[in-house]
């Protein structure tokens, strides 16, 4: 009886803590990072008329940021660059990771040797389905080669090696659902609103998306190598239309999640999950932490590289996904090895005492 009362008390405490955490931080879109591609010594794509990708994307990025700040003053907008300077791909993602951004939007423009290619497309991290998709990622990733110490920073990755792109796409896909929803929101009505060809939502191994630990998309506004697209991209009216279109996509995504976050359904889901309640049991248990996200992702094997029985708990404003549950360190180390084998190379063991996450040093 005492144990039952104690568990009810812990459950109550958990609920109170959650309520406080919830109202303090909120779970909506509080910070967005806008990442204008290239800059400085890296012009990005260059049109036959010598118009630079770095210039077009900076203008559209700044316009987008202004629109977000005007309509949603409570949202913090951070740019990875707001002038013409060179910034490495890893640094761009690091800026977003360190401030705990809720969204990462990287803005680029295309160019290829075939002048007829044209249109607007949105990318998320994943395995490319065509050689053309691989080439887009290779071009964008080639900025790495202009970075000093790139061999140390990207020791695991050669931007020219096709195999490296397969390895990149094995990355945890905890943010894939949200990234796809944002990408689809941005891509929606692009033909109607922009008058550009709708090239759809695609996947490939972009290093800047790989390094970002939140929902992240990369937009290719159009082709500087196509005369019609180029004219649109370099014009003030075209840039305003593009920024406005990106803003609408952002707004739709934000509204969707802000509405969801205003309910307590997520809490109910977690309480209804018996495995999570088991965390409130007495004693020390170990789990493998796989990934973190701002929004709840269904813990289905297909969302976690085939791993079964993935569980979720809330910590601050994030959902954290765990795999395995054991009071035994050697059992959990086997689970850790399985998680790493499934592609969660940065997964690690965490422990709970009486339902409370222990500090790493006390493990
Ligand atoms: Zn680019």
Give me ligand 1 centre to Cα 143, in Å.
9
Give me ligand 1 centre to Cα 289, in Å.
34
**HEC-encoded secondary structure of 23-74:** HHHCCCCCEEEEEECCECCECCCECCCCCEHHHHHHHHHHHHHHHHHHHCCC
Q: Rounded to 5 degrees, what are φ and ψ at 52? A: -100, 140
Taking 50 as the threshold, does the pLDDT of residue 22 lie above it?
A: no
Taking 60 as the threshold, does the pLDDT of residue 292 lie above it?
A: yes
Give me ligand 1 centre to Cα 53, in Å.
7
Give me ligand 1 centre to Cα 176, in Å.
21
Bigger pLDDT: 59 or 166?
A: 59
Give me ligand 1 centre to Cα 316, in Å.
35
Query: In which band, very low, low, confident or very high, does the pLDDT at 275 lie, cut at 50, 70 and 90?
Result: very low
What value does the mean pLDDT take over residues 306-329? Answer: 82
Give me ligand 1 centre to Cα 347, in Å.
31
Decide: 73 and 64 in contact? Cβ < 8 Å: no
Give me ligand 1 centre to Cα 112, in Å.
12
Give me ligand 1 centre to Cα 89, in Å.
11
Cβ-count burial 198-224 (b if 16+ within 10 Å, e if not): bbebbbbbbbbbbbbbbbbbbbbbbbb
What value does the mean pLDDT take over residues 77-101? Answer: 95
pLDDT of residue 103: 96
Give me ligand 1 centre to Cα 147, in Å.
15
| ipTM of the complex as predicted | 0.99
Residue with tokens 């109202």: 23
* CA atoms 126, 47, 93, 29: torsion sign: negative
Decide: 270 and 150 in contact? Cβ < 8 Å: no
Give me ligand 1 centre to Cα 67, in Å.
22
Q: What is the pLDDT of residues 31-79, one digit of tens each?
A: 999 999 999 999 999 999 999 999 999 999 999 999 999 999 999 999 9
Bigger pLDDT: 69 or 301?
A: 69
Average pLDDT over the chain reads 83
Q: What is the pLDDT of residues 191-229, one digit of tens each?
A: 999 999 999 999 999 999 998 989 999 999 999 999 999
Taking 70 as the threshold, does the pLDDT of residue 23 lie above it?
A: no
Which domains does the chain carry?
31-260 (3.40.630.40), 266-362 (3.30.70.1070)
Query: In which band, very low, low, confident or very high, does the pLDDT at 294 lie, cut at 50, 70 and 90?
Result: low
Give me ligand 1 centre to Cα 36, in Å.
8
pLDDT of residue 74: 94
């Amino acid at each position: 009886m005492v144990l039952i009362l104690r568990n009810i008390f812990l459950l109550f405490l958990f609920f109170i803590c959650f309520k406080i955490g919830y109202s303090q931080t909120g779970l909506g879109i509080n910070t967005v990072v806008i990442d204008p591609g290239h800059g400085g010594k890296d012009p990005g794509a260059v049109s036959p008329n010598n118009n630079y990708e770095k210039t077009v994307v900076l203008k559209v990025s700044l316009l987008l940021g202004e629109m977000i700040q005007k309509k949603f003053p409570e949202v913090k907008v951070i740019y990875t660059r707001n002038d013409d300077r060179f910034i490495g791909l890893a640094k761009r993602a690091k800026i977003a990771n360190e401030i705990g951004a809720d969204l990462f939007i990287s803005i680029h423009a295309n160019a290829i040797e075939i002048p007829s290619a044209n249109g607007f497309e949105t990318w998320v991290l994943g395995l490319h389905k065509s050689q053309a998709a691989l080439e887009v990622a290779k071009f964008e990733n080639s900025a790495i080669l202009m970075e000093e110490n790139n061999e140390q920073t990207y020791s695991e990755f050669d931007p020219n090696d096709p195999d490296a792109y397969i390895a990149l796409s094995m990355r945890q896909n905890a943010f894939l659902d949200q990234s796809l929803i944002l990408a689809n929101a941005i891509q929606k009505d692009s033909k109607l609103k922009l008058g550009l060809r709708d090239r759809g939502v695609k996947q490939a191994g972009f290093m800047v998306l790989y390094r970002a630990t939140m929902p992240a998309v990369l937009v290719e506004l159009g082709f500087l190598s196509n005369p019609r697209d180029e004219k649109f991209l370099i014009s003030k009216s075209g840039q305003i239309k593009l920024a406005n279109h990106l803003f609408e996509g952002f707004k739709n995504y934000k509204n969707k999640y802000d509405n969801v976050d205003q309910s307590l359904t997520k809490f109910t889901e977690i309480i209804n999950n018996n495995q999570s309640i088991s965390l409130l049991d007495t004693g020390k248990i170990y789990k493998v932490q796989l990934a973190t996200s701002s929004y709840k992702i269904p813990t289905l094997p297909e969302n976690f590289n085939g791993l079964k029985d993935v569980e979720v708990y809330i910590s601050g404003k994030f959902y954290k996904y765990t795999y395995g549950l054991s009071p035994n360190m050697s059992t959990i180390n086997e689970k850790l090895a399985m998680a790493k084998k499934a592609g969660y190379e940065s997964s690690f063991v965490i422990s709970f005492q009486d339902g409370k996450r222990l500090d790493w040093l006390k493990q």
